[in-house]
Amino acid sequence: MSNLNTEMVEKYRNNFLQEVTANVEEGEWVKMCMQCGVCSGSCPLGPYWDHPPQELFMMIRAGKREEVLTSSSMWMCTSCYNCVARCPRGLPITHIMHGLAHYADRLGIAPKGQQTRKFANLFWDNLTKTGRVNELRLGISLYFMNGFAAGVKKALSMAGMGMGMMKTKRLSPMEYFGGHSIKDKKGLQAILKKAKEIELAKEQKF
Amino acid sequence: MAKKEYSFYPGCSSQKAASASNYQTSVASMCDELDIQLNEIPDWNCCSASIGFAGGGELPRLALSARNMALSEQAHPDQDIVATCAACWLATKETQERLHGDDALMEETNQALAEGGLKVKANQNVRHMVEVLIEDFGYDELGKHVTRPLEGIKIAGYVGCQTNRPFGIDGESFENPKYLDKLVETMGADPINNYDKKVSCCGGALAFSEPEKSQALIKDIIESAYDGGADMIVTPCPVCQLNVEAYQDHINAKYNTKFNMPVVYYSTLMSVAYGKDAKQAGLDGQIIKAKQLEEIAGK
């Protein structure tokens, strides 16, 4: 268990709702859910959630901390906003799912092999490096995120699509060497560093 | 009409040799015909789309879009920000909404931006390109520029998610928006009726991390277009376009289907209808060739 996780367990003993309200993006909305289930019924990947959003909200209120944070459920969110558009109480469900996923990731207790967790981290690392996404490098790191042998197999199965993209000039092998970037990388990284500091300091105050 | 200028946020996928570079090509041709000048936001950065959330917390992600808005305010203070990518538009517009809804967040964001020598007010309108077309031009005006109507082509208007929810376009319904069908009609083509996967999700970024689950969604989107008698699909979103076009081989292999459905952008249709040639319309960027459009563009 990570230190941060232990720290949070002790700090919020038995009050997971309060912990979510304090530490999760848009977490203060969780208490507004009235359990109608429209979100769960509207989700394109609904059948694959161990606990659909409405259930997660009830579990948070019931203090099921470990079950919620170690779940792969919120990693199934495709950010389609169907639940947000339909929720009769106007909960920003997509953002709460992103917030829960981020929090679980930061505490180090999100499921280890979860594919979207891996990909979402790769995406963030890729974009913060140069300020813009390098699609070729992102693609390659995606193929190899489950190890070398799996990567070769995946890369071969995707070769046709890759060739199609290259032929139509929508992917360039040259991107591997540098590629797209902003000029003020230092400035951007300083901004992101400060933003993270502010966010963590705020959490401490709660 | 006088020249219209906008502060333009093109986004990562529209860059040279990136996955939606063909979108950018057709947008440039369309704007040329409509006398729209797109002034690129200098040194813009990625918005982190809807998938940066594992590594990036709320404030760092908001700071990404805030930096773009700050740069836009410096360079083109009197212009609306316009994005062609659904995710870019959504992230920027959401950031604006959040910053104005929460004074503390605005202050924190500016504290972060100060590290890069920037400051944001976030007062510029944040708009999608289709809003510019519909609101600043209107269907009638857009129709006046048509020199080669796309007669006889049946098109499924796949609106997808993020140009539709949560903000919507032109006040239309989230469940059955009509703007794409109206644009298709304005270009002289036939929109298919009752396209029941019009606002369904293609999996978005999860097409990469959950390919099987996403391809099942994509299969339904294509199948429904065939069921409606469509010759091709049109979309306003780079991720929708990529996902629905590029995985058809994989889907055919898995589901024993024979999909071969071109997927184009609204700007592709408009460029062809406005008399641009195949290259200007970005038709060489189709993995699945849009032959009917190529024929019209070649006349």
The secondary structure of B282-297 as a DSSP string is TGGG-SS--HHHHHHH
Q: Average pLDDT over chain B, rounded to whole?
A: 97
Distance from CA of B288 to the nearest CA of A (A): 9
B126 forms beta bridges with: B81
- In tens, the pLDDT along B33-67 reads 999 999 999 999 999 999 999 999 999 999 999 99
Q: Binning pLDDT at 50, 70 and 90, where does residue B189 land? A: very high
Residue A203 placed within a domain: no
- Looking at residue B227, its pLDDT comes to 97
My answer on whether A135 and A185 are in the same domain is yes
pLDDT recorded at residue A157 = 86
Do residues A85 and A20 share a domain? yes
Residue A204 lies in a domain: no
Distance from CA of A204 to the nearest CA of B (A): 15
**Average confidence (pLDDT) over A133-158:** 87
Residues with Cβ within 8 Å of A47's Cβ and at least 6 positions away in sequence, in order, are none
Helix (H) / strand (E) containing A107: helix A93-107
A177 and A141 in a single domain? The answer is yes
One domain, residues A149 and A72: no
Token digits of residue A16: 């997971």
Give all domains of chain B, ordered by start, each with its CATH number.
4-129 (1.20.1050.140), 148-298 (3.40.50.11810)
pLDDT at residue number A140? 86
Which residues numbered 165-184 in A keep a CB inside 8 Å of some CB on B? Answer: 165, 167-172, 174-175, 180, 182-184
Average pLDDT over residues A90-114: 97
Task: Return d(Cα A189, Cα A125) in angstroms, integer.
Answer: 11
Q: What is the pLDDT of residue A206?
A: 63
pLDDT on residue A59: 98
Least confident of A169-183, B184-198, B234-248: A169-183
| DSSP one-letter code for A72 | S
Q: Do B60 and A192 touch (CB under 8 A)?
A: yes
B contacts of A180 (beta carbons < 8 Å): 12, 15, 18
Q: Is residue A133 part of a domain?
A: yes
CA distance A105 to chain B (A): 6
Q: Are residues A54 and A152 in the same domain?
A: no
Distance (Å, whole) CA B31 – CA B33: 5
Q: Which residue in A101, A171, A195 is closest to B17 by CB distance?
A: A171
DSSP 8-state assignment for residue B265: E
Q: Tens digits of per-residue pLDDT, A105-118?
A: 999 999 999 999 99
> A74 with A122, same domain?
no
Nearest-by-Cβ selection for A25 from B58, B114, B205? B58
Between residues A164 and A32, which one has the greater pLDDT? Answer: A32
pLDDT (tens digit, 9 = 90+) per residue, B140-172? 999 999 999 999 999 999 999 999 999 999 999
- How are beta strands B36-40 and B4-9 bridged, if at all? parallel
Domain boundary among A63, A85, A112: A112
Cα→Cα distances B219→A25, B201, B288, Å: 33, 11, 16
Per the domain annotation, does A206 fall within a domain? no
Q: How many CB atoms lie within 10 A of CB A86?
A: 16
Instruction: Mark whether A101 and A143 lie in a shared domain.
Output: no
Please give the residue range of the domain that contains residue A186. Answer: 115-196
Minimum-distance CB partner of B22 among A44, A118, A170: A170
Q: What band does A1 get if pLDDT is binned at 50, 70 and 90?
A: low
Which pLDDT score is estimated for A2?
A: 78
Q: Which of A112, A131, A153 is the last residue of a domain?
A: A112
Does A127 contact B at CB distance below 8 Å? yes
CATH number at residue A82: 1.10.1060.10
Which chain B residues contact residue A170 at CB under 8 A? 17-22, 285, 287
Tell me the mean pLDDT in the region A5-26: 93
Q: Give the count of domains, chain A.
A: 2
Instruction: Evaluate whether residue A201 is within a structural domain.
Output: no
Given a cut of 60, is residue B86 above it in pLDDT?
Answer: yes
Subunit contact A195:B161, Cβ cutoff 8 A: no
Tell which of B19, B41, B53 to mutate to test the A interface (max A CBs under 10 Å).
Answer: B53
Cβ contacts below 8 Å, chain A against chain B, sum to 213
Digit-coded pLDDT (tens) for B90-102:
999 999 999 999 9
B218-239: average pLDDT: 98
Asked, for residue A66, whether it belongs to a domain, the answer is yes
pLDDT band, very low/low/confident/very high, at A15 (cuts 50, 70, 90) = very high
Instruction: Check residue A61 and give its pLDDT.
Output: 97
Q: From A86, A112, A138, give the residue that closes a domain.
A: A112
**One domain, residues A32 and A81:** yes
Q: How far apart are CA A128 and CA A182, in angstroms?
A: 10
Closest CA to B184 of B270, B295, B277: B270
In a domain, A45, yes or no: yes
Query: What average pLDDT score do residues B262-283 get?
Result: 98
Q: Which of B110, B109, B116 is nearest to B60 (CA)?
A: B109
CB of A196 within 8 Å of a chain B CB? The answer is yes
Same-domain check for residues A59 and A101: yes
Are residues A101 and A158 located together in one domain of the fold? no
pLDDT, tens digit (0-9, with 9 covering 90-100), for A39-69 = 999 999 999 999 999 999 999 999 999 999 9
Note the ipTM here. Answer: 0.96
Same domain, A98 and A125: no
Classify B38 as helix, strand or coil. strand
Q: Are B138 and B83 in contact (CB under 8 A)?
A: no
Could you tell me if A72 and A144 lie in one domain? no
